[in-house]
Amino acid sequence: LLVTFFFFPGMEKVIVCSYKKPDALCRLICFPWAGGGTSHFAQWGKLFNSSIEVSSVRLPGRECRAKEPFAKDMTAVVNEITSILLKDLKDKPFAFFGHSFGSYVCYAVAVHLKEKYGVEPIHLFLSGAYAPHSEAFLLMKRSKDAKDEDILEHVQYLGGTPPEFLQNEDIRKHLLLTIREDVRVLQTYSFEKADRKNVFSCDVTCFDGSEEIVHDSEAWLGITSGDTSIYNLPGGHFYLLEPSNEIFLIKHITKCIENAAL
């Protein structure tokens, strides 16, 4: 698959690229976790070599889109991202990386691109998430809305959020609202098609923190006819924020992308 990057009004508010590399061989598009913005993955742009340009997806209701209403459902999320990526499909391969909630958005967008347009990433990287057709995911999806205190406790347990953010009332309230809205979006999406084998032909890699609950990563592996692999890295849910793990991710993703782009 070939893509290029053309600018048009609204693109940069949804697909953020802080370190542009016009001569890159491939684009890596990253999908953040629930409540997350573009700040972490935006910095990946300077960590990858010149062959890979990194972009991060920004959903409505956060950062420069804070005044926009949150997406009403997963279909709206998928349609917005897809409409922008399709304008970008011309002469450069792309890969997807999603963490936690971002894995589901990443997967949903990839399925939509494949089924409706016959387009797919050259590699799909899925991190810290249950397979969408697993029993554990279905139970999580059916769970009722939690109390603010329970969400905050879970956020603190998972890590990844600076304590000072949670101590600031305005930031804490917005974070809680954003997480609730992201979880609600997740609950609106049907993964009924996910039990079909070999939706993709690209290679798929799953990452997880070794100290977190098991995410049955093996259940993801039936989604493609391509090669599949699983890596458990030291740490919990936000293992990817650890510098040593980040170095591993950058090197491994680079190797996978460069091999696929040859």
Residues with a catalytic annotation lie at 100, 237
Residue 203 falls in which region: left (phi positive, over 0), alpha (psi -120 to 50) or beta: beta
* C-alpha–C-alpha distance, residues 63 and 208, integer Å: 27
- SS3 assignment, position 213: coil
- Whole-angstrom CA distances from 249 to 93, 100, 186 are 19, 15, 26
Question: β-pairing, 52-57 with 26-31?
Answer: parallel
> How many helices (DSSP H) and strands (DSSP E) are in the chain?
9, 7
String of DSSP letters for 127-149: ES---TTSHHHHHHHHPPPPPHH
